Structure 1
């Protein structure tokens, strides 16, 4: 462990600075509770710049979490990508273990899905961002190794001020040789209920295709507007539910109704096809992250074309109807005006 700490010494941030940044871990600054402990927002002075941060403070009361802490530090210190949370540093002092990342102002995807406040276009862009992050983790050669995330779900996908996706939650990630990403890495079936690769039971481990399964669940969460697992629901698990509807061509029955009115049919077809393929039982039948990026980018492009065509057409129709009604109104007014004057003229003649 001493060697590990020395390797990351340049990333250490004094506890005093973190305490000051979070106002002594004031409860008003709590923005979440992760698997390791509470997350605090704050402002940290670094190299003359005031940075908005999120500080994940390891919960010391329950003990444990040390391995996960160093795993997260190790992973984040190496990962640099637009769609992965930005690592600032860590604190390991006086019994405190704290991971500091750049603050993502809009919170988690899970929170936004519960509020139903995202358009279909926004959802598509978020999906493309997460797919790019997984592609980077699985295949980026500059790093020299691949990463199996093992924790992809709607709560570990964070959104910045522009609603761009930032993948977080690397506490249980595994490094894997780029040439052996299909090789099973033996482990316990870690992850939130509803997202765990069912192949774990057969293989007793994970591959990069386990991330693909989890992402497939997220894709359908985004499409249907419901959680991956609902405890007291007859259809507790989302994955088998969407597979049933997709295979029986009744997917429209469970898509969130607010989204149906916004979608390009071609975009939905492309999106649902790739999402369904992620949930295949056999890992070999699931697409890889690069293929998913390509298909989701096509779905986004189809939606953009649709909106660029439909919006001007909608404006034209509204404008046309406005002028039609305006013309009718003017004609009726003119007709009524003439009738009024004729009637007035008759009255004057009779007088």
Structure 2
């Protein structure tokens, strides 16, 4: 009989319910592959309500994954934030281990939209602010009694819902830490995805909350440049050293996403927003952890960048037409008088 950790017993979902929800894990319901196995979309009956879910089914063929499974369940069972995925429950039955969350990725992951020309500067900023707030909650929320170092922040673990609101996922390697020790090194092997790894890990043999800051800085530049953190067949495989070089040489506009460049050239206010944003992103990538900002200040800066971007937005075409017609009629009426 499978042993279930008592603390999470209230979250357990019978295997037959998950099988029914995913049509027996039908291939047509596969919506992605995580580090632990395939992810299925389904419809699950829960408390009298039919909800759309994502079910991560642990791939046991090659062994392992059990520690990561329980880490993710443990983390998500405690975390409640609008920019973090919500757990529905889990299945630990008949050699199956499945994590069930609400279906958040109606617009896929951020990785799929980096070069999307329809994703405006304001929308990109709102995504950044949402993720920053999630990370600030992980690092500093006092109500839990512990902080969380995510260790898997990248554009694939940031999901976008139907309104392009970001939802941070991927907690399989996260670490709990005492709130007053978030800056202290936790001994660890290099954890994360190539292109996002904190360069200080090799020197200190461990991670801190500043490792999340570095990874988030890479994401900020992915959003700005419209390209992934690592491209295997590219001369500039790693984005981080490339953007650091351009920033320090004051040639950052050379590698910005073309659509964003067009927006910046049209609206001066966006240029001011870009300045705050790029300074913040650059500070996240400082090699020495002590020179990187904390998430609280990053949230403040990104909110300022968003505020400046929102101060000057192009008016909708219909509003412009209405505005013109109104004043034209007013002019005609005054002339007649």
Q: Aligned residue for 2:121? A: 120
Q: Relative to structure 1, is the Cα distance of residues 16 and 3 closer, same or farther in structure 2, using a 3 angstrom cutoff? A: closer
Q: Following superposition of structure 1 onto structure 2, how do residues 1-351 of structure 1 map, counting pairs within 5 Å? A: 5-104=5-104, 105-263=106-264, 264-307=270-313, 310-311=314-315, 315=320
Q: Which SS does the other structure have where 2:70 is aligned?
A: helix
Larger Rg: 1
Q: Aligned residue for 1:344? A: none
Greater share of residues in helix = 1
2: CA distance, partners of 1:76 / 1:118: 29
2: CA distance, partners of 1:290 / 1:3: 40
Aligned-CA RMSD value: 1.8
2: CA distance, partners of 1:114 / 1:63: 36
Q: Relative to structure 1, is the Cα distance of residues 260 and 65 closer, same or farther in structure 2, using a 3 angstrom cutoff? A: same
2: CA distance, partners of 1:203 / 1:52: 43
Alpha-carbon displacement from aligned partner over 1:49-102 (angstroms, at most 9, x marks no partner): 111000000001111100000000000000000000011010000000000000
Q: Which SS does the other structure have where 1:272 is aligned?
A: helix
1: CA distance, partners of 2:39 / 2:150: 20
Structure 1 portions without partners, runs of 5+: 324-351
2: CA distance, partners of 1:69 / 1:114: 32
Shift of 1:312: 7.6
Shift of 1:262: 2.1
Shift of 1:10: 0.6
Q: Aligned residue for 2:331? A: none
Shift of 1:315: 3.9
Structure 1 length as normaliser, TM-score?
0.87
Q: Which SS does the other structure have where 1:261 is aligned?
A: helix
1: CA distance, partners of 2:306 / 2:142: 27
Shift of 1:269: 0.5
Alpha-carbon displacement from aligned partner over 1:278-321 (angstroms, at most 9, x marks no partner): 000111111101101110001000000021xx5389948x959x
Shift of 1:117: 3.7
Q: Which SS does the other structure have where 1:162 is aligned?
A: coil
